């Protein structure tokens, strides 16, 4: 599961990270609480060139007649992605990379309250998540949209949640983007032990309107 992202990287840094040509309409500024349906920067590869494009986080199958015509598909499960009609063409032909500083996950308190955790790479480097995308069009409306690929939790994250986004290391980017041939399915696996760290943060982030650096402040142990 991955329902909120943090991305503090400037667009220029993401373009350098991916060696991609940036679009001029990318979201700007540090973003501490990226929610589904928000625009995110996505690296795609076509005709021998990588591009950094803005896309709506929330995948729209081709049969949707409007963006709200069905469930909001923000994640695609690695175990079934090649079989699901909504995702199977995209995972074969339209894979992408999504840079993030970290993401949030929630556990339940003894009283049932949603308790947020901020999860990030242990080495402080940006994380790069596996995604799938497509251009959707209906009723005169056109949107580029993306879903993040998720897998069973690993790297110790099992204690927080049973799912996690697929995190790709730099040597694997060409294979995921389709630049290095076939066989990208082997990349859809949990993160290795020790690569992530996490801490509790305040419940302010439970609101999709919350923003600012204070959302990442760790709560006292």
Assess if residue 221 is contained within a domain.
no
pLDDT of residue 1: 61
Torsion angle of alpha carbons 57, 60, 66, 69, nearest 10°?
Answer: -100
Q: Is residue 220 part of a domain?
A: no
The backbone torsions φ and ψ at residue 180, rounded to the nearest 5 degrees and listed phi first, read -115, 35
Q: Identify whether 87 is part of a domain.
A: yes
Is 192 among the domain residues? yes
In a domain, 91, yes or no: yes
Kindly report whether the global pTM for this prediction surpasses the value 0.85. yes
The answer to the question of residue 217 being in a domain is: no
CB atoms within 10 A of CB 57: 26
Q: Any idea what the CATH number is for the domain that residue 123 is in?
A: 3.90.1680.10
Q: Are 89 and 99 in contact (CB under 8 A)?
A: no
The structural domain count of the chain equals 1
DSSP letter for 191, please. P
Q: Decide: 177 and 95 in contact? Cβ < 8 Å.
A: yes
Query: How far apart, in whole angstroms, are the C-alpha atoms of residue 67 and residue 64?
Result: 7
Domain-embedded: residue 218: no
| Domain extent for 143 | 4-211
C-alpha 173 chain-centroid distance: 15
pLDDT one digit per residue (tens) for the chain, 221 residues = 679 999 999 999 999 999 999 999 999 999 999 999 999 999 999 988 999 999 999 999 999 999 999 999 999 999 999 999 999 999 999 999 999 999 999 999 889 899 999 999 999 999 999 999 999 999 999 999 999 999 999 878 888 899 999 999 999 999 999 999 999 999 999 988 899 999 999 999 999 999 999 999 999 86
pLDDT the model gives residue 221: 66
């Amino acid at each position: 599961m991955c329902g909120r992202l943090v991305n503090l990287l400037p667009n220029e840094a993401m373009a350098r990270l991916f060696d991609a040509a940036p679009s001029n309409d990318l979201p700007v500024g540090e973003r501490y609480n990226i929610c589904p349906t928000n625009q995110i920067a996505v690296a795609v590869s076509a005709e021998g060139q990588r591009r950094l494009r803005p896309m709506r986080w929330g995948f729209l199958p081709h049969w949707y007649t409007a963006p709200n015509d069905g469930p909001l598909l923000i994640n695609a499960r690695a175990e079934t992605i090649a079989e699901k009609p909504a995702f199977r063409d995209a995972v074969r032909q339209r894979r992408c990379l999504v840079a993030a500083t970290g993401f949030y996950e929630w556990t339940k308190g003894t009283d049932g309250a949603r308790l947020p955790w901020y999860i990030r790479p242990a080495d402080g480097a940006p994380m790069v998540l596996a995604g799938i995308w497509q251009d959707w069009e209906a009723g005169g409306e056109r949107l580029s949209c993306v879903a993040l690929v998720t897998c069973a939790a690993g790297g110790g994250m099992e204690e927080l949640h049973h799912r996690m986004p697929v995190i790709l290391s730099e040597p694997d980017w060409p294979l995921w983007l389709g630049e290095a041939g076939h066989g990208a399915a082997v990349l859809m696996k949990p993160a290795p032990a020790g690569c992530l760290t996490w801490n509790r943060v305040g419940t302010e982030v439970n609101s999709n309107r919350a923003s600012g650096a204070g959302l990442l402040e760790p709560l006292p142990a």
